[in-house]
Structure 1
């Protein structure tokens, strides 16, 4: 007969431990950066215009060759136009990548984890670069507001669910 540990009266046995999530940032880098100062080419100073800025963000995550390594890219485009005429003042495009080693996340939860949690970690670094580039480009620094990556992820899922399925291609 085997000895089994007894549970004290009134206490429940401990449930199986949930998997422990481990995450490390292996590296971060700028894959692509472009800043076009349209205003300088026209010879107008920033004090002469009232800007309106539009920011677009897209995310991409994929597995890398190494064990439990993933690459998450945040692509950000900021376009500044004049409020009055809609003329472009500047365009900033940046692809910022974080490489993560992630363990303990169930496979069915990896996609949202990559596109929500990982960008939250790299965003402050991306924000600083955007601020520095716009300031060094002759404009007031563009200090981005925090991005709700959960809402961004949900909106993308809803958009994909509403998009009609592409018709299969037929070879002629």
Structure 2
């Protein structure tokens, strides 16, 4: 079992988790109404597990000529500086992806660009929006209706410890 801790202070960000051999396919139920009235997708990673995402994820975003998702589980995003262009992630590879409810004590970054929010939540395109109680930014929550429902922790800002 693995516990994920803040690399800056050692605070346990999760309880014991089990690593999955690969990131599961992202559920295809984004934007669909759920029984509870929400439009949030089913979580990519089940409770009690984590996986590494080998693809670039999150900010920064860079221009791209073809329409494709900005990052895994994300929407297709137009480039505001190029009417016919698009944006894709040039962010970190191997982010630690887990069910958002497996994170303990993470705090919302109150300075996070609220203009980067979607209609139902955070799409994760504007950079890290979750902090350790010590104040260190450690990851990005994506929970908008047009994105996968997942928490990405930056590998340089966390440590995976085994018990």
TM-score range, shorter chain: under 0.3
TM-score by length of 2: 0.22
* TM-score, structure 1 normalization: 0.21
The structure showing larger relative contact order (alpha-carbon pairs under 8 Å, at least 6 residues apart) is 2
**Structure (1/2) with the larger helix percentage:** 1
